[in-house]
């Protein structure tokens, strides 16, 4: 009986630590899986629809003077525990990024200018500034990434959280104009 009580006590002590690591507001965050197939090409975007602590974490991170620690945590988590995966069977262009066919881990970071970025990590990491716009009429309490069929063999991703959103166009590499907007960098 004492061994059983010791195990129960140990489990109850460890549970809050695990919850803090994962973020209690995201313990049961939904997993979203999306795939588009067209013209012999296949793209998939799978992600965890997190809340960023109902906006409190985001608010703290966006404070230029006091938010450095929150931004550091968000950026480290994006690297260590990416929120999403993106797979493509063909080379594509997203904004100024050229991604070879393959599998990528996807994370969101905040740069020193308080701009949100999306990072695609394969052999190396490529980063694109998200062209976010404010939309006070529609807010999203959870991260929303909606993969959709685009024009002429392309696709797109609608990204939204809080009152910010943007669309990233995805085009087969070498076809049409560069998709999306923003500056890319390799890391």
- CB within 8 A of 36, min separation 6: which ones? 42, 43, 44, 147, 148, 149, 155
Q: Identify the DSSP state of 166.
A: E
- Residue-wise pLDDT tens digits, 22-55: 456 677 788 999 999 988 899 999 999 888 665 6
Q: Which residue in this structure is represented by tokens 């970025």?
A: 117
- CB within 8 A of 71, min separation 6: which ones? 61, 110
Strand ranges (E), 39-163 = 41-48, 84-88, 92-94, 97-99, 102-110, 116-121, 125-129, 133-134, 140-149, 155-162
The structure's pTM equals: 0.77
CA 64, 66, 72, 74: dihedral to nearest 10 degrees?
Answer: -80
- Residue-wise pLDDT tens digits, 122-174: 999 999 999 999 988 888 888 899 999 987 778 999 999 888 999 999 998 86
Secondary structure class of 8 (helix, strand, coil):
helix
């Amino acid at each position: 009986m004492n061994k059983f009580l010791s195990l129960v006590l140990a489990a109850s002590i460890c549970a809050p630590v695990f919850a803090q690591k994962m973020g209690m507001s995201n313990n049961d965050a939904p997993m979203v899986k999306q795939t588009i197939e067209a013209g012999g090409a296949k793209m998939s975007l799978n992600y965890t629809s997190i809340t960023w602590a109902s906006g409190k974490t985001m608010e703290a991170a966006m404070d230029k003077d006091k938010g450095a620690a929150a931004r550091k945590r968000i950026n480290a988590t994006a690297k260590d525990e990416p929120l999403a995966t993106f797979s493509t069977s063909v080379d594509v262009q997203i904004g100024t990024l050229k991604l070879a066919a393959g599998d990528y881990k996807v994370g969101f970071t905040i740069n020193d200018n308080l701009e949100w970025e999306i990072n695609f990590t394969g052999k190396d990491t490529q980063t694109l500034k998200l062209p976010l716009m404010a939309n006070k009429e529609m807010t999203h309490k959870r991260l929303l990434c909606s993969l959709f069929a685009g024009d002429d063999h392309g696709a797109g991703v609608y990204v939204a959280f809080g009152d910010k959103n943007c669309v990233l166009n995805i085009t087969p590499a070498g076809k049409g104009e560069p998709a999306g907007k923003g500056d890319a960098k390799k890391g």
